[in-house]
């Protein structure tokens, strides 16, 4: 079995490789604005209008299909681990909407003349094992010859139409809970530069491999209506999308957010991925955000990590205040970094208030 370092093939890996959210926003305003004449629009419960985590199509009064896809270049050195992470990330959108994963199709871009084919075998095995852990199956896929390699899944999930969790249902008075620490993108960038110790690198890998399945189960238990997973647009990018879709203000307490320990040190050293600056531009260009300035003392490092592109990141959950303490306790048993990071307020002048 050949030993091949996948990180040697990329400049931006994982969700850091996504197109800027600012660019996507401008594109989506002019695309997919119309439906076929005979299309029953009431069946499409969640579509492009709120830029949610996945699409949801109602089959009948008891069933709706959740459909999503995600793929990206390598985010770590080991092929098997990359397969696990890519699969966990692809399935996360289904969990963000409170659903169960039914099946998936592989999406494979791999240069079999440049990289040993057994590397692809390990990637696919990692993906298959993670899908099996989710209680689902891989039923096929598609491959092309391409460099650098990329891997992910097209995923189908199932949910009851009345139990869908969306990014458009946060309500005034809700409490905001974040289930995983921030800093994954910065840790991976530091790894490529040889600046990250083994302990923090393994923390990042463990976080990315961890399924959000249990979070979805608990959201259903506590009848959560609003959530989103934190991926390529960073914590504040996804928070802004939730605030806009829900027409509310998210009051974020920066001191309550958890970070991977060495990530803050890396920011102080100037190790900041390019995706962080793209996400910062997207969020700060919007006039409806106020609070802490990035120029304030002891704020820069933590605030930049709130723009950090996460791969297979945690859930930002908006839950009723009376349920928050109980949900937090159960989440911490599975996701130990879980923390209450703010609350939802009435929309007046701003979508996000930082404190």
- CATH number for the domain spanning 251: value is 3.90.650.10
Does residue 15 have an active-site annotation?
A: yes
Higher pLDDT, 286 or 96: 96
- Asked whether the predicted pLDDT for residue 32 surpasses 60, the reply is no
User: Which residues lie closer than 8 Å to 147 by C-beta, 6 or more apart?
Assistant: 9, 111, 114
Which has the closest alpha carbon to 327: 209, 184, 199, 227? 227
Q: Judge whether residue 342 has pLDDT over 70.
A: yes
Where a domain ends, among 134, 163, 192? 163
- Do residues 278 and 312 make contact, with C-beta atoms less than 8 angstroms apart? no
The verdict on 56 and 143 lying in the same domain is yes
- Who has greater pLDDT, 9 or 157? 157
Q: Predicted confidence band at 196 (pLDDT cuts at 50, 70, 90)?
A: very high
Domain range spanning residue 222? 175-354
Look at residue 76 and tell me if it is in a domain: yes
Q: Is the pLDDT of residue 54 over 80?
A: no
Domain count, the chain: 2
Asked if residue 179 belongs to a domain, the reply is: yes
Active-site annotation holder among 15, 249, 271, 306: 15
Is the residue at 169 inside a domain?
A: no
pLDDT above 80: residue 37: no
Q: pLDDT-based confidence at 28, cuts 50/70/90?
A: low
Residue showing tokens 């259903």: 220
């Amino acid at each position: 079995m050949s030993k091949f370092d996948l990180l040697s093939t990329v400049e931006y890996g994982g969700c850091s490789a996504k197109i800027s959210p600012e660019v996507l926003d401008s594109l989506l305003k002019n695309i997919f604005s119309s439906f076929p004449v005979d299309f029953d629009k009431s069946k499409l419960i969640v579509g492009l209008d709120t830029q949610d985590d996945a699409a949801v199509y109602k089959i009948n009064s008891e069933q709706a299909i959740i459909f999503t896809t995600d793929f990206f270049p390598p985010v770590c050195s080991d092929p098997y681990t990359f397969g696990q992470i890519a699969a966990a990330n692809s399935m996360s959108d289904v969990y963000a909407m409170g659903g169960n994963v039914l099946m998936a199709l592989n999406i494979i871009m791999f240069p079999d003349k440049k990289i040993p084919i057994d590397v692809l075998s390990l990637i696919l095995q990692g993906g298959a094992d993670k899908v099996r852990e989710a209680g689902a199956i891989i039923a096929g896929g598609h491959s092309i010859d391409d460099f650098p390699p990329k891997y992910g899944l097209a995923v189908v999930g199932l949910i009851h139409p009345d139990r869908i969790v969306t990014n458009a249902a946060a309500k005034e008075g809700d409490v905001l809970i974040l289930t995983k620490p921030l800093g994954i993108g910065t840790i991976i960038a530091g790894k490529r530069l040889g600046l990250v110790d083994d302990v923090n690198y393994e923390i990042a890998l463990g976080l990315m491999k961890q399924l959000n399945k249990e979070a979805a189960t608990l959201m259903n238990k506590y009848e959560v209506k609003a959530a989103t997973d934190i991926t390529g647009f960073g914590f504040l990018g996804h928070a802004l999308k939730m605030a806009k879709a829900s027409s509310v203000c998210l009051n974020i307490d920066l001191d309550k957010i958890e970070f991977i320990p060495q990530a803050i040190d890396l920011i102080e050293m100037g190790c900041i991925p390019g995706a962080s600056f793209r996400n910062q531009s997207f969020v700060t260009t919007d006039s409806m955000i106020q609070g802490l300035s990035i120029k304030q003392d002891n704020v820069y490092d933590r605030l930049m990590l709130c723009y950090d592109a996460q791969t297979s990141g945690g859930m930002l959950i908006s839950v009723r205040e009376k349920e928050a303490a109980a949900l937090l306790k159960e989440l911490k048993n599975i996701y130990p970094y879980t923390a209450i990071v703010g609350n939802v307020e009435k929309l007046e002048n701003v979508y996000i208030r930082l404190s």
